[in-house]
């Protein structure tokens, strides 16, 4: 059995996010070239997805919003916020991206592959129930999670998002819902897009304690992220016992990316993937999928995707020790304290 599936479709290259937008087709071209030249294509199975249906979207998004996007496309397109533009084909390609992430989740949850990586665009984690923003239209990872819940009856799904920006859309969708433990590690939103994703935002109602935001100061890098995984993410996951783990992998937290002040490198992404894989092994028979979010430095996203892919296919990653900046350990202590009401957090 080929253990890893790579989900990709050439139509992802047709998506245009608007003039001068850094979310451009060259991102995926760069990643796929790097994976091909690095010999990854011989070691994985490449699967072509089809579009998700409106029914799949409507498990996540309000009907008015889905119709709004479809109608603007039918009229030829237009802007939906300051940096997010819709064109005639956006509705179809965004459904193809959500379909790709759904397929990546489906083949792993059914045991056809051990793990998977969905290389899709447009990204999805900023899309809320009723609003597209930040280059995102439909929330791909949320569409997948709701699909797995409905088709396979999964009760507990863990989503870890390490994109530089807070996963505000994913947070909005699952804010009152304990069936998804949604953890986002991102640059402190106090002066950074999307301006939300603070440590105090822990969910509401039955979902209180199942949204976790870990704001990082600019300058935080590999060892700080490993510290957060060791001290917070992994103990929380052991308490939650997910049946499936999804990683929303944005690579704009790479040190070469102009968009954030974070300092992760490909080595950090590779080692984080390996840590999450062994966690998945321990908790849910290894069931883990990765899906692409942001990342705008063409070299950075390519070598980072390669590092993640190497970990998925089982090549040991170089170890990174978790020595955190003082500010990171303070945030982690604060979160552990407030989350201990909902989880038994032990290392
Ligand atoms: Zn981002």
Residues in the chain: 347
Mean pLDDT, the chain, whole residue set: 96
Q: Tokens for 283?
A: 């908790």
Distance from the alpha carbon of residue 137 to the mean position of ligand 1, in angstroms: 14
Q: What's the gap in Å between 103 CA and the centre of ligand 1?
A: 23
pLDDT band at 1; cut points 50, 70, 90: very low
What is the dihedral sign for C-alpha 109, 113, 114, 116? negative
Question: What average pLDDT does range 288-315 have in this prediction?
Answer: 98
Quote the ligand 1 centre to 295 CA distance (angstroms). Answer: 6
CA–centroid distance, 294 to ligand 1, in Å, is 4
Phi, psi of 26 (to 5 degrees): -60, -25
Q: What is the pLDDT of residues 205-223, one digit of tens each?
A: 999 999 999 999 999 999 9
Sequence-distant (6+) residues with CB within 8 A of 138 are 57, 60, 61, 66, 69, 94, 95, 97, 98, 124, 127, 132
CA dihedral angle for residue 93, residue 70, residue 62, residue 110, rounded to 10 degrees: -30
Task: Determine the average pLDDT of the residues in 234-262.
Answer: 98
Q: How far is the CA of 2 from the centre of ligand 1 (A)?
A: 31
Buried b (16+ CB within 10 A) or exposed e, 124-152: bbbbbeebbbbbbbbbbbbbbbbbbbeee
Residue 138 in contact with residue 95, Cβ under 8 Å?
A: yes
Specify whether the CB–CB gap between 161 and 225 falls below 8 A. Answer: no
Mean pLDDT of 184-188: 98
Domain segments of the chain: what residues? 4-339
HSE (side-chain half, CA atoms, 13 Å) at 193: 16
Which residues are found with C-beta within 5 Å of the ion, ligand 1?
163-165, 250, 252, 294
The DSSP annotation for 28-80 comes to: HHHHHHHHHHTTGGGTSEEE---PPPHHHHHTTS-HHHHHHHHHHHHTTEEEE
- pLDDT over threshold 90, residue 46: yes
Cα 235 to ligand 1 centroid, rounded to whole Å: 26
Domain range 4-339, its CATH number among 3.10.310.30, 3.40.50.300, 3.40.800.20, 1.10.10.60: 3.40.800.20
323 — pLDDT class (breaks 50, 70, 90): confident
SS3 20: coil
Q: How far does residue 169's CA lie from ligand 1's centre (Å)?
A: 12
Whether this prediction's pTM lies above 0.95 is answered by yes
Question: Mapping DSSP to helix (H, G, I), strand (E, B) and coil, where does residue 233 land?
Answer: helix
CA distance 26 to 177: 36
**CA pair distance 48, 61, nearest whole angstrom:** 24
pLDDT over threshold 90, residue 297: yes
- Catalytic residues, by residue number, are 126
Residue 249 CA to ligand 1 centre (angstroms): 9
Overall average pLDDT of the 129-153 stretch: 97
**Token pair for residue 60?**
């996540």
């Amino acid at each position: 059995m080929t253990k890893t599936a790579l989900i990709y479709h050439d139509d992802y290259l047709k998506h245009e996010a608007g003039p001068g937008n850094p979310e451009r087709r060259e991102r995926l071209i760069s990643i796929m070239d790097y994976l091909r030249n690095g010999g990854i294509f011989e070691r994985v199975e490449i699967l072509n997805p089809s579009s998700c249906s409106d029914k799949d979207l409507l498990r996540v998004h309000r009907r008015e919003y889905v119709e709004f996007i479809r109608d603007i496309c039918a009229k030829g397109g237009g802007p939906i916020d300051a940096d997010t533009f819709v064109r005639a084909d956006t509705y179809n390609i965004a459904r193809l991206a959500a379909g790709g992430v759904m397929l990546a989740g489906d083949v792993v949850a059914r045991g056809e592959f051990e793990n998977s990586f969905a290389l899709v665009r447009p990204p999805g984690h900023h899309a809320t129930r009723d609003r597209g923003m930040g280059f995102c239209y439909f929330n791909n990872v949320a569409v997948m999670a709701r699909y797995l819940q409905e088709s396979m009856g999964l009760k507990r799904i863990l989503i870890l998002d390490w994109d530089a920006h807070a996963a505000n859309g994913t947070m909005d969708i699952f804010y009152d819902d304990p069936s998804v433990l949604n953890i986002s590690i991102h640059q402190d939103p106090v002066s950074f897009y999307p301006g939300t994703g603070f440590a105090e935002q822990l969910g509401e109602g039955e979902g209180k304690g199942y949204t976790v935001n870990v704001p990082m100061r600019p300058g935080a890098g590999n060892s700080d992220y490993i510290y957060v995984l060791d001290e917070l993410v992994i103990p929380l996951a052991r308490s939650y016992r997910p049946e499936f783990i999804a990683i929303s992998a944005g690579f704009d937290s790479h040190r070469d990316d102009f968009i954030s002040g974070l300092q992760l490198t490909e080595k950090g992404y590779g080692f984080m993937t390996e840590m999450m894989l062994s966690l998945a092994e321990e908790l849910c028979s290894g069931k883990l999928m990765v899906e692409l979010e942001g990342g705008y430095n063409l070299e950075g996203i390519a070598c980072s995707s390669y590092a993640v892919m190497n970990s998925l296919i089982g090549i040991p990653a170089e170890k990174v020790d978790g020595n955190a900046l003082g500010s990171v350990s303070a945030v982690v202590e604060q979160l552990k304290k407030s989350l201990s009401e909902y989880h038994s957090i032990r290392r």
